[in-house]
Structure 1
Amino acid sequence: MNTFANISGRIPTGVYKLLLVVATVIWGLSFVVMKDAVDVLEPAYLIGFRFLATGLILAAVFWRRMPRAFEKDYLIKGMILGVLCFLAFWVQTIGLDNTTPGKNAFLTATYCVIVPFAWWAIARKRPTAFNLIAAVLAVAGIGLVSLTGALEELSMGYGDFMTLVSALLFAIHIVYVSKFSETNDVLVLTVMQFVVGGVLGIAYGACFETLPPVSALTPGFFWNMAYLVIFASCVALVIQNVALAHVPPAQASLFLSLESVFGVLFSVLLYNEQITSRLLLGFALIFGAIVISETFPLKRKVPQEEESEQPAARAARAADALE
């Protein structure tokens, strides 16, 4: 344990930020994959099977750590994260099924504005002016990248409303992951999150949804599910949760907003979407938001004695992520 703490204590915060960018690349492609998968399997079943498979795989990988999952503290926090994660992805998938992928990506990414306020409400840590400036720039950029058509055509429909609800849920989930990882093994919580979310999805699907016929389960569908389970969940969401133990949530949400940028880039590569001046301006605004987050302080100053304690605390938490 001490060995891992020493190793993790030497890992720069920038590495965790880079890992967040890697996660957004994976999720950028997952928008295309998810749209195809939800045409075969209804939303709750899709999230349920995806999360349960992910939870079982990760439990097998981290089996030495899993006895902690039966402690009361872990059970409560794991259930909270599982419910939030399931609801966020389920509601987002319902929104995706009832609106365009571009609007879904944009409205989901508005969580980068919500996170500083959710962090304030839950952790009692007030956002700074730079939090707000960076978040507004990021949302403006995401809008230019993700939305198409004239301004007057951007109406609010059922799918858009559900996507906004999912953005709120994602923001709350990010904040609770950051908060719980201060005192708990983030990988154990991640495994529990997936198992709880998977059980909820399958239970809801069994009550209110219909399984597709066997003929609909083509090799293409199983390839899509494999990508969603292994890359978009096992890899990307584990990266997110581990990184959130080391990067302030308001700052992390700005890096995660790059998901919409990579979504468009994959559309350019795979579907020959044209790069326009609007897209370039959107990329520039998002890049500007991240530059502000890296250049200016995004959190309030703490007393020197508290600051001296932070590296040790972060190293201890990182040990759990690397063990």
Structure 2
Amino acid sequence: MTNRRKGQLGLILVAIIWGSGFVMSSVALNYFSTIHILALRFSIAFISMLVIFHRQLKHINKSTMIRGGILGVILYLAFYFQTIGLVHTTASKNAFLTAFNVVLVPIFGALFLKKKLTPLNIIGSLSAIIGVGVMSLNEFGAINIGDVLTLICALFFALQIIYTSLYVSDENPYALNTVQMGVATLCGMIISLIQDQPIEIGHANGIIAVVYLGVVSTMLAFLLQTTAQRYTTETETVIIMSMEAVFGMVFSAMLLNEEISIRMLIGAALILAGVLIVQLKPRRKQQESV
């Protein structure tokens, strides 16, 4: 199996993990505030990285600290704006607008990384974002402050993917991800203190959900993403990871007994089409394009 295929499989696993994270987030929100969930999930992810991969810490140097710090701030801001955006808009619009990074990543790759923006990349990205829209939107309505905040969130998620691709070829992925999680944890703690909201540890179900979000949906998922991006392009990364909406639908049906509609199946098909379309490029051209 080629490294590119391994990277693609790693990103599919990330999408599966994040799809399951929808269920765990729903459980966690019954016991914790959204700000506390962010602080806890990054803290748990950071501690897990330190415990499991402590031997990799020797690879942390000044460059890793700077680059991991940038990624950590960007990552926390992405989640933070998504969270506060959700307060002022609907969940369906929040999900759709967050997925707008599928469109932003190819554009940013062309602007900042001087990567070629190919027609198939554009078609694949549009197919994926339309698919997310079909799955999540019942109606859109007027633009409000929550929509704007969620678009800012999509901007930061796109930047996180772009900067990860920029940094990962020169850095140890374990060391880079450890610093990223550490800085995101620091941001989460600062925001919690500013808002003067002490964290209360409550029901076992809430604790289990937050631990899952921290260890699996954050530590493992972002480590897989960081490693996989060594072998995949930015556009491949964001389109494959847009499949989290598909897996979220599946896990919600299996574990929360939510119904799957024809509209959701059509949206899932469009997302999968986007993933397949971006694979159609000749391998030689794939390496020089986004």
Question: Same fold, TM exceeding 0.5?
Answer: yes
Q: C-alpha distance in 2, partners of 1:37/1:169? A: 24
Q: C-alpha distance in 1, partners of 2:178/2:6? A: 23
Q: Does 1:103 align with 2:90?
A: no
* Map of 1:37 onto structure 2: 28
Q: C-alpha distance in 1, partners of 2:199/2:52? A: 31
Q: Does 1:14 align with 2:5?
A: yes
Alpha-carbon displacement from aligned partner over 1:165-189 (angstroms, at most 9, x marks no partner): 1111000000101110111112211
Q: C-alpha distance in 1, partners of 2:218/2:67? A: 19
Q: Root-mean-square deviation (CA), in Å?
A: 2.2
Q: C-alpha distance in 2, partners of 1:201/1:105? A: 22
Q: Does 1:160 align with 2:120?
A: no
Q: Does 1:261 align with 2:251?
A: no
Matches within 5 A, 1:17-28: 17-28=8-19
CA contact (8 A) 2:18 2:221 kept: yes
- DSSP 3-state at the match of 2:278: helix
CA contact (8 A) 1:31 1:101 kept: no
Cα pair distance change 1:281/1:213, threshold 3 Å: closer
* Map of 2:265 onto structure 1: 280
Q: C-alpha distance in 1, partners of 2:106/2:136? A: 22
1:104 Cα deviation from its structure 2 partner: 2.3
Calculate the TM-score normalised by the size of structure 2.
Answer: 0.91
Q: C-alpha distance in 1, partners of 2:178/2:154? A: 22
Q: C-alpha distance in 1, partners of 2:163/2:169? A: 10
Q: Which runs of 5+ in 2 are unaligned?
A: none
Q: C-alpha distance in 2, partners of 1:43/1:122? A: 32
* Map of 1:250 onto structure 2: 235
- How many correspondences in the alignment? 288
1:289 corresponds, among 257, 271, 274, to: 274
Q: Does 1:196 align with 2:183?
A: yes
Q: C-alpha distance in 2, partners of 1:212/1:178? A: 35
Of structures 1 and 2, the larger Rg is shown by 1
2:59 corresponds, among 54, 68, 93, to: 68
Q: C-alpha distance in 1, partners of 2:287/2:225? A: 25
Q: C-alpha distance in 1, partners of 2:283/2:84? A: 33
Cα pair distance change 1:298/1:158, threshold 3 Å: farther
1:225 Cα deviation from its structure 2 partner: 0.7
Query: Match for 2:150: what amino acid?
Result: T
Q: Percent identity?
A: 30
